[in-house]
Chain A
Amino acid sequence: MTLPSNTLTGAADNTTEIRATARSFTHPPLAIALSSLFLLVLTIALAVPFWITHYDPLVGDVSVGLQGPSAAHWFGTDRLGRDVFARVVYGARYSLLIGLSGMLISLIVGTLLGLIAGMKNRWLDEIASRLFDVLSAFPSVLLALLVIALIGPGLINVAVAIGIAGIPKFGRLVRSQTLLVREADYVRHAVLYGRSRLQTFITHLLPNVLMAIPIVATIDIGSSIMAVSGLSFLGLGPQPPTPEWGVMLAEGRDVLRVAWWPSVFPGIAITLTVISFTVLGSYWQRRFEGRQQP
């Protein structure tokens, strides 16, 4: 529905270099290092949370409920006396995995549809492209809400909802990339040299089309995680007492009058996670910008 932005700026190539230089100020190596470090810590929290904390995220002692941060409870305790730090650490598992699954659903379905649309069949292209148009006619949060209204709330359903809402992003990327690569000289030459269509597809077309995906996917994990936490906050994802960050924030909102810590730390976790994925994704994008053209 919208015009591609590069039609407006005709000579975008001249300014790419300037922008790259400008961006190297905004993403200095320090930011890359910190982001990588944070994601490493998250991975550890995801795989072996019990190495980081010995508290149980689900069991608390009500008599020590809503205590502020202390040496015993770094992030304080929530209403039911559960350790907030332990819940944030165990929460990485839910938030990351649901966000990642949502992104993977969009990636897989979007890539398949995009490849189909980019093939030489006009009708298939029309159908797939109109599907992308319809999906992106709904603002993504509302589309996800519609999907949940149809399939009901829940942990897996949230991932499905976010995944469906993200299909057009990958679909359109893969479609335009396929159309571009299909006409590239090396693909034509491969056909001229007598390679079969299937061989050309697998050895030349596919790798070059798929090259653009990891970068978009990395940036997209961040927004996927944010969307998941938003739906969970609304009570449509995993249900309490699951230590998911969005759920924790919804519980924290209820006790905000008396305690700030149950609402502050899970929010910091979400924000740092999203920032880390965005910083790494756009750094990667800048490094490979020149190599994306086939």
Chain B
Amino acid sequence: MWRNVLIRLASSVLVLWLSVTAAFVALHSLPGKIADILAGDNEYPGLREAIAAEWGLDKSLPEQYLDFIGRLLHGDLGTSYVMRQSVSGVLHSQLWPTVQLAVAAGVIAAVFAITVALLTAGRSALGRRIASTLELVLTSTPVFWIGILLLMAFSFHWRFFPVSGAGGFNALVLPAITLALPTAGILAQVLREAMEKALEQPFVTTVRARGLSETQVRTGHVLRHALLPIVTLGGWLIGGLLGGAVITEKVFGRPGLGTITLNAITSQDVPMVLAVVLLAAFIYVVISTLLDVAYLFIDPRLRT
């Protein structure tokens, strides 16, 4: 049991280290490019040498790599080429709106999926058909188009919600729903199939024999059993939410990590992009590792 946990932790540390290294190699595999970006439109003798000295580009590659790792371990993600600010400072100030958005979307998606699954799993063919068609449409619709449609209806036509910005609860509603819907579609699909499988299990008959009502059987026993496969999807879903946040923030003109990432990409501000992507990978790996470990505790069958 503890051996499994240790192996899982070690392998995720390995993956993180490999990702960081791969990112470093990618960043430095373009010779002369970093200095070009830093120089911008300026050009005078000695400029490139000065830049190289300032940013530590004149050292040998192994030395730079050790510096990079050392700084990362101290939580220093480097300095933005374009903004000339510490990357971690920028991330820190932009983290909150994105976290708000992702958490709100996650909650909406979970509530939607659980409701749909509880209502339709193993019930009438018509209900299942409607639910699965809805799920197919939700998972096949691009997140930015959902956003545009919601904006069109609720902001421009009925004027219920503000068009853009991050001020307060009202400005969060539409972006959160937008980001939630595709995830909700996938979650509902997986949860419903898992519940239908769980309903076939002998323990359901036992529970029914004890005289519990259908609602009690579903919410108390079948749902709990069916939530397990969702846990495996957890890391992947978080990744989807983070990726979708970039697009959602663009549609609604919200500030946040997505907007920062996008600006960094268009201005080729590589340290900024790397930092955001590494942060996302870090969150993703940590969460899926935690979930996998939690799994070992929840499900005794996996402890062998």
**Could you list which residues of chain A lie within 8 angstroms of chain B, going by C-beta atoms?**
1-3, 5, 7-10, 14-15, 18-19, 22, 25-26, 130, 133-134, 137-143, 145-146, 148-150, 152-153, 222, 226, 229-230, 233-236, 246, 249, 252-253, 256-257, 260, 263-264, 267, 270-271, 274-275, 278-279
Contacts and interface: CB of A to CB of B under 8 A. Distances in A.
A253 B242 contact: no
A161 to B, nearest CB: 11
B246 A149 contact: no
Interface stretch (B70-78, B105-113, B205-213, B268-276): B268-276
Given A139-B284, A140-B243, A249-B142, 9 more contacts: A1-B285, A2-B233, A3-B232, A138-B19, A138-B277, A142-B280, A150-B270, A252-B148, A257-B156
A227 to B, nearest CB: 9
A18 B132 CA distance: 16
Contact of B266 (A2, A137, A235): A235
Contact of B15 (A130, A222, A229, A278): A130
A236 B16 contact: no
Q: Specify which of B18, B129, B262, B265 lies most central, judged by the most chain A CB atoms within 10 Å of its CB.
A: B265
B179 to A, nearest CB: 12
B289 A1 contact: yes
A142 B19 contact: no
Contacts of A22: 128, 196
30 contacts: A1-B285, A2-B233, A2-B292, A5-B232, A7-B302, A8-B232, A18-B196, A22-B128, A25-B125, A130-B18, A134-B18, A138-B280, A139-B239, A142-B239, A142-B280, A145-B262, A145-B273, A146-B23, A150-B27, A150-B30, A230-B143, A230-B144, A233-B144, A249-B142, A260-B152, A263-B145, A263-B148, A267-B142, A267-B148, A271-B140
Given A138-B19, A142-B280, A146-B273, A234 B142 contact: no
B200 interface: yes
Contacts of A257: 156
A2 B237 CA distance: 12
Interface of B: 11-12, 14-16, 18-19, 22-23, 26-27, 30, 125, 128-129, 132-133, 136-137, 139-145, 148-149, 151-152, 156, 193, 196-197, 200, 228-229, 232-233, 235-236, 238-240, 242-244, 246-247, 250-251, 261-262, 264-266, 268, 270, 273-274, 276-277, 280-281, 284-285, 288-289, 291-292, 295, 299, 301-302
Contact of B239 (A140, A150, A279): A140
A8 B301 CA distance: 8
A44 B26 CA distance: 41
A230 B277 contact: no
Nearest to B244: A141
A19 B193 contact: yes
B237 to A, nearest CB: 10
Instruction: Tell me the dominant secondary structure on chain B's binding face.
Output: helix
Question: Among A15, A133, A142, A234, which residue has the most Cβ atoms of chain B within 10 A?
Answer: A142
A137 B240 contact: no
B30 A145 contact: no
A278 to B, nearest CB: 6
A146 B246 contact: no
A18 B235 contact: no
Contacts of A26: 128-129, 132-133, 136
Contacts of A14: 200
Given A138-B19, A138-B284, A145-B261, A274 B152 contact: no
Given A1-B12, A2-B292, A149-B268, A138 B250 contact: no
Contact of B268 (A18, A137, A152): A152
Contacts of B149: 263-264, 267
Nearest to B193: A19
B281 A149 contact: no
B171 to A, nearest CB: 17
Contact of A133 (B18, B197, B246): B18
Most A C-beta atoms less than 10 A away, residue of B137, B142, B268: B142
Contact of A150 (B26, B144, B244, B292): B26
Given A140-B239, A235-B266, A229 B125 contact: no
A96 to B, nearest CB: 15
Contacts of B148: 249, 252-253, 256, 263, 267
A8 B228 contact: yes
B247 A234 contact: yes
A279 B136 CA distance: 9
A20 B288 CA distance: 30
B151 A256 contact: yes
A134 B235 CA distance: 14
